[in-house]
Structure 1
Amino acid sequence: MLSQLLCAGLLALQASAAVSWTATPFNPPSVPLAVRSPYLNTWLPQGQGQALNDAWPTMWTGSITAWAGLVKVDGKSYSFLGVPAVEGSPYTKATQKSLTFTSTQSIFVLSAGPVDLTVTFLSPVEPTDFVRFSIPLSYMHVSAASTDGASHSVQVYSDISGEWVSGATEWDIQWSTTTSDVVSHQISLVSPAKFEEVNDHSQYGNWYYATLNGKGVTAQIGRDSVVRAQFLNNGVLSTVKDNNFRAISDSWPVFGLAKDLGKVGSSAADVTFAIGHIRDPAIKYVVAGNKKQERSLYFWSKFSTAQQVVSFFLKDYATALKSANALDKKIQTDAAKIHPDYAGIVELSIRQSLAANELTISKNAFGLWDTSDVLYFMKEISSDGNTDTVDVMFPASPIFFYLNPKLGQYLLEPLFRYQATGLYPNKWSVHDVGAHYPKADGHNDGTDEAMPVEESGNMLILSLGYARATNDLSQIKRYKNLLDQWTQFLIEDSLIPANQLSTDDFAGQLVNQTNLAIKGIIGIKCMAEISKLLGDTKKADNYSSIAADYVTKWTALATSKTGPHLTLNYGNDASWGLAYNLYSDLHLDLKLFPQSLYEQQTAWYKSVANEYGVPLDTRHTYTKTDWEVWTAAIMSDVEGRDLFINGLKKYLSDGSNRAPFSDWYDTKTGVTSGFIARPVVGGHLALMIL
C-alpha cells in the first residue's frame, strides 16, 4: 500500500509540474471541445497536460479532427489551436494561462504577446427547447483584449480539415462556400453511403464551418500549408478558388475562415465560428410489418435548409451563452452542495452523455413534420455501437431525470413501440433496437445479446420513474401488457437468476447473481406501483406481496456466512460486489430493503476500498464510474459516500489517462481499462436526483 501511495503521489506531482496553467475545477483526461452528437464529438487529449495549441484535437475514437487557430497581433503570428503546418511562415505558440470547463463550455485563455485570447468552446444543452437541443452544431468563440493598456492590430484565423468528414482519409471529398449573411464552408463525401459508418464516422451528410459575414471576414479553401501561409503573410485570405476535389489526405485540403478585428484595446473584440454535421434522414427505424421508417432530427420542424440552421445558430450565440451560463450555475450549485469535488465530475459528464443521443421526428401522411411523434435514440459509443441499448440507457438515466424526464420517455418509446409490433419473439425485453447506429432495424430473430433479467428490470424501473417524474401515465398505460409480460418473466427468473449476462457483460456470465436479483425484485415492485397508478389495486397488491416475499428469501440466499456483506453470487461466501441496483429502491422510494442492509454495505465498502475507489466485484480490481456513484448514493453515511467521490476525482485528475471520460478503470493504478466517451456517465448525476 505504501508503494502504491508513493507512486500515486509521484504521478500527481508529475501531472502538476506538466500543467503550467490554472485548471478549474481540475485538468481532466480529455477536454470536450465540440461535443454535440455521436459524430460531432471532438476532444483535446490531456494526460499530464496538453495546451490547446500543443496537439490536434481528436474525435472520441482518437482519430485526428484537425482544427487550427492562428492569430496575428501587430503583424506577429501566434498559434492558439492545434499544430498547423505552414510553409515559410513561422509563428510562435501563444501561452496558455488557464483552462476552465463547465457543464456546457470549455474555456481557454492564452497570451499572444500583448493580447489575451479567450477561446470558448460551447456545446449548448437546451433540454426543454427541442429545436435548439437537436441542432448538431457547436460554437468556438474567440475574443481578444489588450493586456498592456495600448491598442493592437488583431486578425484571427481558423480552419478545419477534411479529416472530420470520414473515418478513412483515402475517401474523396467535395466542397463549396456560401456567402450571404454567413460565410459557410460545406464539405461532404463524393460518394456518400446513407446510414453507414467508417470507424464510427458517419459516411453521409454535410459538414459545415461558418462565421457571420461582415467587415473584415474572408474565406479560402486549399492545401493546408498554403491557406495558412496566406493568412500569416497577409492577414486576410485569398479569393482564389481550389475546385480540385480529392482525397482527404491528398494535399490535405482545409477550410479556412478569417476575421480582421481591427484595433483592439482593453475592451474585447470577438469572432464566433460554428462547426457541425447535418445529415438527413438521421435514423432508420423498424416499424409494424417490418417496414423501415426514415426519421429526421427535430430541428427540421422549424427550418427548410441547412444554411438556415447554420445562420440561426450563429446569430443565436448570445442567447445560447446566456442559457448555458444559467444551466452551468445551477448544475455547479446543486452538485457542490453534495461535495466540492462532485461538481467537477458532473460537469465533465454532461456534454459527453448527451452527445450520444439524437432527438427525431417523422412526417405525417401529408408530408408535414409531426412534432407529436418524438423518438430519442442513443448510440452505445465505444463498446459495440448498438442503437438504444437498454442497459446503457439505464445507467445514463439520472441525467434525464435531472434535466428533463420527458427525454427519458422518448428514449424508451422506440423500444416499447418495436416490441409492441410483435416482431421481437422473446418473452423478456430486447437488449437494443439495432445492432449498429444509426440503424434501428430490430432483432426479429431474437438473437440480440441476451440479458433477460437485466433489461426487463431496467424497462420496468425506468417506466415507473419517468411516469412519476413527468406525471404522464400515457406510456405505461399504452404498454401495460408488455410491462406485465416482463414482470411475469421476472417472477420466474429473478429470485434465482439463471446463468446469464448482466449489464457488466465484459465480466462474463454468472449464475445466481446477487445484484441482478435485486434488480429483478425491484422490477416486480415497480410493476406493483405502475398497477397502482393505473388503478389496478388487485394486481398492485399481488406484485407487492411477491416482491416482499422475494426480499426475505433473497436475504437468506445473498448474505455471506463468513463476513458482514452481500455476496457476488449465492453460496460464494468470500465474494462481494457493488450492490448498485439498490439505488432504485431509494430513488423510487420503494422501501423494499431494510436500512440495516445499507448500513452493512456501507461498512463493508469502506473496508475493501483501493487507492482509486472500490472494485466492481471480487473477480477483478477494476470498477465502473457510473456504478460507483450509484453505490455512493446508497451509502448510509457521508464518509461512505465521499469515499467513492474522492476516488473518482483522483482517477480523473491525476494525469494517468488521455481518453474522453472512461467509465471503466483500475482501482489500484487509476488507469483506464476501456470504454471511452460513453453516455453512461449521465449516471454520475445519481446523487443529484435522490
Structure 2
Amino acid sequence: MKLKLLIATAIVCQSVSSFAQKQVLKNDLRAPAYPLVTIDPNTSAWSYSNELNADVVRHWTGKSFPLLGVLKVDGKPYRFLGKEEAELLPLARMGEHAAWTGSYVVSEPASDWMKPSFDARQWKMGAAPFGTKDKEPNVETDWQEPKIWVRREVELTEDLTGKSVYIEFTHDDDAILYVNGIEVANTGNSTGKNSRVKLPEHVVKTLKKGKNILAGYCYNRVANGYFDFGLFTEKEGSIQFDNEANQITSNVQATQTHYSFNCGPVDLNITFTAPMFLDKLDLMARPVNYLSYTVHAKDGKKHQVQLYLEAAPNWALNSPLQDATSSSFISGNLQFVKTGSKSQQVLGKKGDDLRIDWGYFYMAGAKSKTKSAVGSSHQLRSNFLKSENSSSPNGGQQLALMQTFDVSSSYQDKILLGYDDLYSIQYFGQNLRPYWNTNGNSSIEKQFELADKEYTVLKKAADKFDAELWGTALRNGGEDYAALCALAYRQAIAAHKLVKAPNGDLLLLSKENDSNGSIGTVDVTYPSAPIFLYYNPELAKALMNAIFYYSESNKWTKPFAAHDVGTYPLANGQTYGGDMPVEESGNMLLLTYALAKVEGNAAYAKKHWKVLSTWVDYLVDKGLDPENQLCTDDFAGHFAHNANLSIKAILGIASYGYLAQMLGEEATAKKYLTEAKAMAMKWKKMAEDGDHYKLTFDKTGTWSQKYNMVWDKLLKMDIFDPSIRETEIKYYLGKQNKYGLPLD
C-alpha cells in the first residue's frame, strides 16, 4: 500500500526493490531544462538547450550562471559545456550600479518624444532607477503613476559603426526602448531584469561621437513599478572557444545528468552528480556536487589532453555588474578557487527573481592534478590555448581549474563544485546557519574534503539509486512516467533549504520559484510532500514545522493556516497579500494525516492538536461552499463556490476525524467523520452537471480537475461516492490536449 500510495501521488518516486545495475538507463525525454548543479534554491544551475554547449549555463531564473568546459586534445580545443558570452564594456551603465540622470514625464508627451531633436527642457529631471521607492530598494526616483516616459543623453567618444552594441534594461511591466528615435525593443505585457537586446546594424550606425539619445516608455500594470536602461558594446576578440564538441547523448536520471561527446580522436563522457539521498540528511544538505568525466582514446594512440573548467563570479552575485573578489588556495589535498561579492550583505535580499550575493562559490580538484587561475576571461582562455598557467595580472575575477593528462586508453577524474552561504535563512528574526554547519563547527573546506574522500562510494550509491527509481517507475507507470520521475527528483529537492530552528526542529523551507518568492508556502508543500513522506517522514514534518510554529507562537492569529512564513530567505511572517484559508487549512490537515498513515501513529498530530482543532472547525464552518477567495490555482484569481476546493475542505475534516480515531478520541472521530460524509453527499448534489461535475457550484457548463479527491482513495477514507471519480475520469478523457489535461 505504501509503495503504491506514494508512487501514485509523488512528484518523484523510488523503490527499495532491486534493479539490475548492469542495465543501461537511458532517458530520452527532451527536458525543458537539464539539471546540472542542484544544491538549494540559490545555487541551482541548468542547461536550457538540447546540447550542453549550445547556450550558457543558467540559474533557474534564466540568468547566466557561466560555467565553461573545454577539452583540449593534442592542442585542439573542443568546447563541451556552456557557451562563451561576449564580454561587454559599458557605454552607459545601468542605474542600479551607477546612478544616471534623465528627463521624464508621467503623462503622455508628443508623439516624437523619443527623437533626438525633441525639446525635453520642460520635463522633470530624476536619477535612475525609476520605480516604487518604498518597495524597490534600488530606486532613486519615486514613480507611482501607471506610466513613465524617460530620455537619457549618452555622450560617446567615438562612432560605433561596425561594433556589436547592446541595450540592457530592467522593466516592470511593459517597456518600449528606443535608440536615437528608433524602436529596438517592445516587451509587451511582461517584466524582466537585465534583459539584453543586440542592436541591428542600421541602429548602430546612428550611434555617433557626441550626444545620443536613449529613450524608454514603461507601463506598470499592477503592484511595483521599475525602469532602468543602459548601453554596452562587445569587447573585440572575446570569443575564443568557437569549436564545439559533438554531443552524442544526454541522459537525465534522478541524482545524475550524463552527456557524451566526440572530441576528435577521443570520446568524452561527463556526469553531474548530486547525491541527494533524503534518508541521509548530511548528504542531502552537503553543499557540494560533482562534475566527473571519462576520456577514451578511440584509436588506441597516446594523446595529450587538458580539461579546462571556468566559472564566472555570477554564481555568487545577484547581478553580474556587482563587484566581486576571487582567489585560489590549497586546503588539504584539494586545489580551490573561490569567488564572492565584495559587499557580503548576508541575508540582505529577499524576493523571487534574485540570486544570492553573500557567501562564496567554490570549485576544487585534487591538488596533485589540478592547476588554478583567477583573472579576466580573455586572459585565462588565451593562456589555456597557449598551455600557459597563470592568473592574469590585469584584474578580472573569473575562476578556472585545469587538469592535464595523457590518454591512450581511458582516463577518469572529477571536479567538485559547491557553495557556502554562511547563513541560509532568517527565521523570525534569528539568522540560521545551513544544516551542515548548524553549530558553526564545520567549514566548507571540510565539506569538500568529505565529498572528495567519499566520491567513489557515493557515485556507486547514486548509480544504484537511479537504477532503482527508474526500474520501479517503469514497472508502475511506463517509460514516460519513469522519465518524468527522474527529471523531477533534483528539482523538487533543490527547491528547499534544510536548517534547524532555534528549538532544534528541522525546517525544510521551500522557495516559491517563478511565482512570488514566498518561503514555506503551504500549497507548495502540498504537492511536494509525498517524496519526503516516502523517503524520510522527518522531512515531511520539517515542511510543516514552520507553519505550526507560526500559529502556536501567536505570531499568526487567524483561525486558518497561513499561506507562507515570509519571502525567501526571510521567514519572519506571511508576506503574500492574499490569504488562502480553505486551501492551506485543508492542506495542513491532509498532510498531517498522510504523515500519521506513513508512521503508523498520530504523535505529530497530537503535538499540534490545538491548532489543528482550530483549523478543522474553520473548515466545518466555511469549507463546503467556499467564499470568494484564492486557492493554489491563484492564476485564476479570486472566485467563490469552488468545487475542487470544497473537496479539500471535506477531506481535511475527514483527516481530523481519522487522526482523532488514531488518538483514541472516538467521540471526536465520530463527530467529524459524520460531518465529512454528510458534506460529501451535499457536495455531489451541488456539483452535479450531467456527465461531469462543475468548476463552481453556481455555474453550469463548467468543469475542473478534482485532483484533491485523490486522497479519498489513496488514504482509503471512503468519504465520497466512488462513482464521482469514475464520472470525472471519463469526462477528462475527452478533454485531453497535446500536453495533457487542463486544470479547467
Matched residue, 2:212: none
CA distance in 2, matches of 1:135, 1:90: 33
CA distance in 1, matches of 2:533, 2:681: 30
CA distance in 1, matches of 2:402, 2:412: 12
Matched residue, 1:515: 644
Deviation at 1:137, TM superposition (A): 2.1
Going from structure 1 to structure 2, the CA distance change for 1:499 and 1:72 (only over 3 Å counts) comes to same
Matched residue, 1:183: 335
Q: State which structure, 1 or 2, has the greater radius of gyration over its C-alpha atoms.
A: 2
Question: Is the Cα contact below 8 Å between 2:374 and 2:398 reproduced in 1?
Answer: yes
Deviation at 1:438, TM superposition (A): 0.7
Question: Is the Cα contact below 8 Å between 1:174 and 1:189 reproduced in 2?
Answer: yes
Deviation at 1:428, TM superposition (A): 0.6
Going from structure 1 to structure 2, the CA distance change for 1:423 and 1:219 (only over 3 Å counts) comes to same
Question: Is the Cα contact below 8 Å between 1:40 and 1:137 reproduced in 2?
Answer: no
Deviation at 1:557, TM superposition (A): 0.4
Going from structure 1 to structure 2, the CA distance change for 1:130 and 1:167 (only over 3 Å counts) comes to same
CA distance in 2, matches of 1:69, 1:35: 18
CA distance in 2, matches of 1:323, 1:534: 39
Matched residue, 1:529: 658
CA distance in 1, matches of 2:328, 2:603: 47
CA distance in 2, matches of 1:284, 1:329: 38
TM alignment of 1:4-23, pairs within 5 A: none
**Which has a greater percent of helix?**
1
The answer as to 2:729 corresponding to 1:602 is: yes
SS in 2 for 1:201: coil
Question: Is the Cα contact below 8 Å between 2:380 and 2:400 reproduced in 1?
Answer: yes
Going from structure 1 to structure 2, the CA distance change for 1:111 and 1:598 (only over 3 Å counts) comes to same
Matched residue, 1:237: 389
Bigger shift: residues 496-505 or 141-150: 141-150
Match of 2:255 among 80, 93, 104: 104
The answer as to 2:506 corresponding to 1:374 is: yes
Deviation at 1:241, TM superposition (A): 6.1
Bigger shift: residues 513-522 or 591-600: 591-600
Match of 1:202 among 343, 356, 360: 356
Going from structure 1 to structure 2, the CA distance change for 1:54 and 1:23 (only over 3 Å counts) comes to farther
CA RMSD of aligned residues (A): 2.0
TM alignment of 1:455-474, pairs within 5 A: 455-471=584-600, 473-474=602-603
SS in 2 for 1:272: strand
Going from structure 1 to structure 2, the CA distance change for 1:471 and 1:213 (only over 3 Å counts) comes to farther
CA distance in 2, matches of 1:195, 1:146: 48
Matched residue, 1:442: 573
TM alignment of 1:149-298, pairs within 5 A: 149-180=300-331, 181-197=333-349, 199-214=353-368, 216-234=369-387, 237-238=389-390, 240=391, 242=393, 244=395, 253-261=397-405, 263-266=406-409, 268-286=410-428, 292-298=429-435
Question: Is the Cα contact below 8 Å between 1:88 and 1:229 reproduced in 2?
Answer: no
SS in 2 for 1:535: coil
The answer as to 2:451 corresponding to 1:308 is: no
1:32-70 per-residue CA deviation (whole Å, 9 max, x = no partner) reads 111221111111112xx3x21222111111111111111
Deviation at 1:475, TM superposition (A): 2.0
Question: Is the Cα contact below 8 Å between 2:438 and 2:499 reproduced in 1?
Answer: no
SS in 2 for 1:384: coil
Q: TM-score, normalised by structure 1?
A: 0.79
The answer as to 2:278 corresponding to 1:134 is: no
CA distance in 1, matches of 2:263, 2:729: 52
1:142-168 per-residue CA deviation (whole Å, 9 max, x = no partner) reads 221111222222111111011212121
What number of residue pairs does the alignment pair up? 564
Question: Is the Cα contact below 8 Å between 2:427 and 2:501 reproduced in 1?
Answer: no
Q: Which AA in structure 2 matches 1:361?
A: K
CA distance in 1, matches of 2:380, 2:452: 24
1:365-414 per-residue CA deviation (whole Å, 9 max, x = no partner) reads xxxxxxx5321111111101001000111011222123222211111011
Deviation at 1:277, TM superposition (A): 1.8
CA distance in 1, matches of 2:603, 2:26: 46
1:609-630 per-residue CA deviation (whole Å, 9 max, x = no partner) reads 222222211xxxxxxxxxxxxx
Q: Which has the higher contact order (CA 8 A, sep 6+)?
A: 1
TM alignment of 1:472-483, pairs within 5 A: 473-483=602-612
SS in 2 for 1:552: helix
Matched residue, 1:540: 669
TM alignment of 1:489-504, pairs within 5 A: 489-504=618-633
The answer as to 2:562 corresponding to 1:430 is: yes
1:71-108 per-residue CA deviation (whole Å, 9 max, x = no partner) reads 12122222111223776966632111111110111111
CA distance in 1, matches of 2:343, 2:414: 31
Going from structure 1 to structure 2, the CA distance change for 1:554 and 1:206 (only over 3 Å counts) comes to same
Deviation at 1:190, TM superposition (A): 0.6
Matched residue, 1:15: none
Question: Is the Cα contact below 8 Å between 1:65 and 1:161 reproduced in 2?
Answer: yes
Matched residue, 2:534: 402
CA distance in 2, matches of 1:394, 1:265: 53
CA distance in 2, matches of 1:87, 1:447: 44
The answer as to 2:466 corresponding to 1:334 is: no
TM alignment of 1:564-579, pairs within 5 A: 564-579=691-706
Matched residue, 2:436: 299
Deviation at 1:449, TM superposition (A): 2.3
CA distance in 1, matches of 2:349, 2:30: 32
Match of 1:94 among 226, 245, 250: 245
SS in 2 for 1:100: strand
Question: Is the Cα contact below 8 Å between 1:87 and 1:226 reproduced in 2?
Answer: no
Structure 1: runs of 5+ lacking an equivalent: 1-21, 245-250, 287-291, 365-371, 618-690
Matched residue, 1:623: none
Q: Which AA in structure 1 matches 2:741?
A: V
Q: Which AA in structure 2 matches 1:25?
A: D
SS in 2 for 1:92: coil
CA distance in 1, matches of 2:695, 2:384: 62
SS in 2 for 1:608: coil
Q: TM-score, normalised by structure 2?
A: 0.73
Question: Is the Cα contact below 8 Å between 1:115 and 1:146 reproduced in 2?
Answer: yes
Going from structure 1 to structure 2, the CA distance change for 1:606 and 1:43 (only over 3 Å counts) comes to same
